Amino acid sequence: MDIHVILVSSIVLSAFGFGVVHGQVLSCNQTPYPVTCHYFIEASKLPASNEMSGLSFRDTTLRVTLEQAYEAYRVIYSMDMSSVEMRAKVAWGDCLELYEDNVHQLNQTIFTSSTLDKPPTIDDVQTYLSAAIANDEICKNGFMDLNLASHLESFPSVLTNFSELLINALAINKASPIPSSPPVSRSPSIGNRRLLANGFPSWVSMTERKLLQSTTSATTADLVVAMDGTGDYKTISEAINASKKLRSGTKRFIIYVKKGIYNENVVVTNKMKNLMLIGDGIDATVVTSNKNVQDGSTTYRSATFGVSGDGFIAKGITFENTAGPQKHQAVAFRSGSDLSVFYECSFKGYQDTLYVYSKRQFYKECDIYGTIDFIFGDAAVVFQSCGIYARKPMSNQANTITAQARSDPNENTGIVIHNSIIDAAPDLKPVQGSVRTFLGRPWHQYSRSVVVKSAIGGLVDPAGWAPWDGDFGINTLYYGEYMNTGPGADTSHRVKWPGYHLITSPAEAGKFSVQDFLAGDAWIPATGVPFTAGL
C-alpha cells in the first residue's frame, strides 16, 4: 500500500519551542500536553530554511504532528498480525485505513503550491484535525466493539504521542489570530457565500443545484447503474470503481442509479472526490446490506454505504441496514465527506443507523429511522427540514436519537437539528408510551447536540436527554434546545445537568450559526440560526 506524505522540515524554536499566538508569546507549557510538545519540537533536527524561519508556533506544531501521523501509520502497517485471530485483524484493518487517512488530513493542514490551490483556512484546519481525532478514537473503538480491548495494550507508544500532538495542534490552531475565510469555491461564478433562495450552500454549483432540484432522472450522467442491464453497470460498486479511470481530475462525476434494490456494501475512498449519486427517489432506489457487530464486523466497517471522499452528494436514494435490532450496531450510511450534501434521501436501520463520522455535512429533506444512537458520530452536521423517526427497539431498550462524539473541547463538531420533525415511526406509535425515547446521550465527554425550531412528538421523554454512564460528560457536554414545538418540547422536566441549556436568547442561539459553529459562513449559511429570515 503506497501513501503520499509531505514531510516538511520542522524548525527548532528557541527557548523550548516558543511561538507567537494572539500577538503574545505562547510556549509548549501552555498546551494540553507540554512534555510531548517540548520533546518533539526539540527533537526535530532537520535544518530550518530561510523560507521556514518565520513559521509560527502553530505551523511548526502542524508539521511535527504530520511527521508523527506518518510514523504512526508506518508502525501500524508494520505490525505482525499473522498470529492473531480474525476479529483482531478486522479491527487492525480499520486502524490501518484510519491512520492512513490521518496522514491525508494532516497533509491538508499544510499549504504547498503543489498540493493545494489556496492555503487552508483556520476553520478548514480545525475540521481536518477534528477528523483525525475521530479516526484516532474509532481505531480504538473497533477493538472494543469486538471485545478485544486487551489488544490495545500491544499498540506502540507512538500512537499516544500522535494523539497528544494532535490535541495540542487543535488547541493552538483554535487560538490562531488568522481570520477565517471561505474554502476554495467549487464554482467560479459564486463569489459570495450566502444561502441562495433555493436553500443550498454556496459551494454547491449552479449545475449541481439544478440536478438536485430536478424532478426527472433524465440527467446528464457520466455513468448509469441499472439492475436490469439497461445501464453501463449493474452494481454501484462497479460504477464507482470504473469512475477512477473515466474521470479527469476531481471534476464532479455523476452516477445515475436507476430504480432497484442494490444489495451491496459500497465504499467511496478519500481519493474519490466530488462524486454525485442520483437515484429515482426514496424507496425506489435502495442500497441495502446487513453487516453488523454481532456477526463480527466493527461498527465502522458495518456500513452499507461508506464515503470518505470530499464533496459527495446524494439525492433520491434510500440507504438501509436490515440486520435488525437484535444485531446491535449496524450502520446504514457512514460519511466522513467534507462539504457534502444529502437531499431527499432516507436512512433506515436500528442501532447506529446514520454515522455522521466527521467533517462538514448537510442533510436536507431527508428521513432517518432507528432506535439506539441512530444519528451518531463526530461531524459538524446540520439536519434541515428532515424527518427523524424512532422505531420500536427490543424489549427493555430505550431509544436515543443522537450520540455525538466530540472528545475534545476544541473540536468544531456537533449535531444541529433544525426545522425538523421528531416523531415515532409506524412500528413504535402503538406502543410509544411503553418505550422511553431521548433526544440524545453523550458518547464522548464534550458531546454537543442542539435542537432548534423543530416539532418534537410526545414520544420524547420529559427528561429529554439520557446519561451514557452515570455522570459521565454531564458537566462538559453541550445540549441545547431553542424554540421547539409539540408535546415533546415541554422543557419543564428536562435534566438538570450543568451541560444542558434551555436557550432563550437569539444571541445564544446565534452561537450555532454557520459563522460561529460550522466553520465561518463557508459551511451552510444560516442553517443553524433559527431566527434568520427564510428558515
Strands (E), 274-394: 275-278, 285-289, 305-307, 313-315, 318-321, 333-335, 340-343, 346-348, 354-356, 360-364, 367-370, 372-377, 380-384, 387-390
Distance between CA atoms of 130 and 406, rounded to whole angstroms?
A: 9
Three-state secondary structure call for residue 212: helix
Q: Would you state the cell numbers that stand for residue 394, as one nine-digit string? A: 427490543
What kind and span of H or E run contains 19? strand 19-21
- Contact indicator for 232, 239 with CB cutoff of 8 Å: yes
**Any idea what DSSP says for residue 149?**
G
276: CB partners within 8 A, 6+ apart: 208, 211, 252, 253, 254, 255, 312, 313, 314, 315
Reported residue count of the chain is 535
Residue 34, burial from CB neighbour count under 10 angstroms (0-12, 13-18, 19+): middle
Beta-sheet strand order (sheet of 367-370): 260-263, 285-289, 318-321, 346-348, 367-370, 387-390, 421-424, 455-456
Strand 340-343 and strand 437-440: pairing? unpaired
**For 193-263, where are the alpha helices, taking DSSP H only?**
206-213, 236-246
- Told to judge if 94 belongs to the known catalytic residues of this protein, a careful annotator would answer no
Pick the catalytic residue from 222, 373, 423, 461: 373
**Any idea what DSSP says for residue 121?**
P
Q: How far is CA 107 from CA 68, 245, 262, 460, in A?
A: 12, 24, 35, 43
Beta-sheet strand order (sheet of 414-418): 223-225, 253-257, 275-278, 313-315, 340-343, 360-364, 380-384, 414-418, 448-452, 478-482, 500-502
Distance between CA atoms of 75 and 16, rounded to whole angstroms?
A: 27
What kind and span of H or E run contains 415? strand 414-418
Residue appearing with cell numbers 421523554: 461
Residue 124, burial from CB neighbour count under 10 angstroms (0-12, 13-18, 19+): buried
Task: Kindly report the number of other CB atoms within 10 A of residue 27's CB atom.
Answer: 17
Q: Could you list the active site residues? A: 373
